[in-house]
Amino acid sequence: MNPKSILILFAFIALAACGGKQTGDAASGALSGTVNIDGSSTVYPITEAVAEEFQKIQPGVKVSVALSGTGGGFKKFGRAETDINDASRTIKPAEDSLAKANNVDYVELMVAFDGMAVVVNPKNDWCKDMTVSELKMLWAPEAQGKIKKWNQIRPEWPNEEIHLFGPGVESGTYDYFTEAIVGKSHSSRGDFTASEDDNVLVQGVASDKFSLGFFGMAYFEENRDKLKEIGIDDQKDENGVGPILPTVETVKNKSYSPLGRPLFIYVNSAAGKRTEVQEFVRYYLTQVNKLSAEVGFIPMTDEETAAVKAKWETFITSLPTQ
């Protein structure tokens, strides 16, 4: 082999090694680092499923997923304590101001859809549906100490005390429900059993014949044998006539109104400069439709998915280099 051929061969080998290293890192688990996530208990099952699958192909990256509720998560996110916040609602102005005060820039990425289920105990044989007006009458702040029994909602229902269960006040589900039903976010009666852990709410309703609660429909699907969901009538015929139950179809076509909603992740721009975070989010958006459906949520359309992927790539391309 002549000297010129030898030089060409070495150059080819070096180029292959350099060019193949980045691809090999993504496929072989050579990435390292951490991805710190907190936030919504509703979005948690999706993010946890993505994190588990991602760490199988990238074992060098430690992905931690906690659930402080959307509001609690945004407090940490706004103080730059986390890389990603799971959110079952959009960020509030006060939360955005906290982030700006701490020089935290971010991008919002939709990841799935969810319907909020209103549920009762399976032994409840009188309540099959409620109107939005009846839910408001039950959950509004002025109902506390006054609306205590089932027959105060409808006279034909039992003269029995109603026991209410709902997400904690740091929950995005609570915020969304109160805004959609009561008309003002973070506004409701306070005499209900609250928990950031949806499993606590499930057990509470499942063990009490005279209970009523609400949480994401994914948790209802997981516990369908313990609970009974009721239809919701928004009394707007253009959205569908009569009570409507939350399903993939009714949430997507917006007939399950007003309790269908999109779900999000928010990514800190400083974290977005790190390769492990970039690859995690890419993997998240590639796998989220499959994994969200597996854990009971409603996937985005192909068009929505493509738009979110493009938004992420545009965002990280726009970040200033370190």
What is the rounded distance in angstroms from the CA atom of residue 66 to the CA atom of residue 37? 6
| Residue 179: Cβ within 10 Å count | 15
The pLDDT, as a whole number, for residue 79 is 98
Domain assignment present for 17: no
Q: Which residues pair with 195 in a beta bridge?
A: 167
Task: Please list, in sequence order, all residues whose beta carbon lies within 8 angstroms of the beta carbon of residue 15, skipping any fewer than 6 positions away.
Answer: none
Q: Are residues 154 and 194 in the same domain?
A: yes
The pLDDT, as a whole number, for residue 3 is 44
Task: Please list, in sequence order, all residues whose beta carbon lies within 8 angstroms of the beta carbon of residue 317, skipping any fewer than 6 positions away.
Answer: none
What is the rounded distance in angstroms from the CA atom of residue 91 to the CA atom of residue 106? 11
| CATH code of the domain covering residue 86 | 3.40.190.10
Of residues 118, 129, 130, 43, the one with CA closest to residue 87: 43
Q: Are residues 58 and 109 in the same domain?
A: yes
Of the chain, the percentage scoring pLDDT greater than 90 comes to 76
| Tens-digit pLDDT profile for residues 230-270 | 999 998 888 888 999 998 889 988 899 999 989 999 999 99
Q: Which residues pair with 128 in a beta bridge?
A: none
pTM (2 decimals)? 0.75
The pLDDT, as a whole number, for residue 245 is 94
The pLDDT, as a whole number, for residue 31 is 94
Of the chain, the percentage scoring pLDDT greater than 70 comes to 91
Angle of helix 275-294 relative to helix 44-57, nearest 10 degrees? 120
The pLDDT, as a whole number, for residue 281 is 98
Domain stops at, among 260, 278, 298: 260
Q: Are residues 66 and 147 in the same domain?
A: no
Q: Are residues 160 and 276 in the same domain?
A: no
Domain assignment present for 284: yes
The pLDDT, as a whole number, for residue 237 is 87
Angle of helix 93-101 relative to helix 70-78, nearest 10 degrees? 20
Domain assignment present for 253: yes
The pLDDT, as a whole number, for residue 29 is 54
Q: Are residues 148 and 174 in the same domain?
A: yes
Domain assignment present for 96: yes
Domain assignment present for 314: yes
Q: Are residues 154 and 219 in the same domain?
A: yes
The pLDDT, as a whole number, for residue 55 is 96
Residue 160 phi/psi, 5-degree rounding, is: -130, 145
Domain assignment present for 1: no
The pLDDT, as a whole number, for residue 9 is 41
What is the rounded distance in angstroms from the CA atom of residue 77 to the CA atom of residue 102? 10
| Residue 284: Cβ within 10 Å count | 25
Q: Are residues 35 and 156 in the same domain?
A: no
Give the burial class of 243: count Cβ atoms within 10 A of its Cβ; 0-12 exposed, 13-18 middle, 19 or more buried: middle
Angle of helix 302-318 relative to helix 275-294, nearest 10 degrees? 170
Domain assignment present for 9: no
Q: Are residues 296 and 215 in the same domain?
A: no
What is the rounded distance in angstroms from the CA atom of residue 140 to the CA atom of residue 70? 22
| Tens-digit pLDDT profile for residues 166-184 | 999 888 889 999 999 999 9
82 contacts 65 by C-beta, under 8 angstroms = no
Place of tokens 């991805």: 35
Q: Are residues 210 and 281 in the same domain?
A: no
The pLDDT, as a whole number, for residue 17 is 41
Q: Are residues 125 and 187 in the same domain?
A: yes
Q: Are residues 241 and 269 in the same domain?
A: no
What is the rounded distance in angstroms from the CA atom of residue 168 to the CA atom of residue 100? 26
Structural domain count, the chain:
2
What is the rounded distance in angstroms from the CA atom of residue 236 to the CA atom of residue 243? 10
Tokens of 114: 């969810």
Domain residues for 126? 115-260
The pLDDT, as a whole number, for residue 181 is 96
Q: Are residues 152 and 236 in the same domain?
A: yes
Q: Which residues of the chain have pLDDT under 70?
A: 1-29, 322
Domain assignment present for 11: no
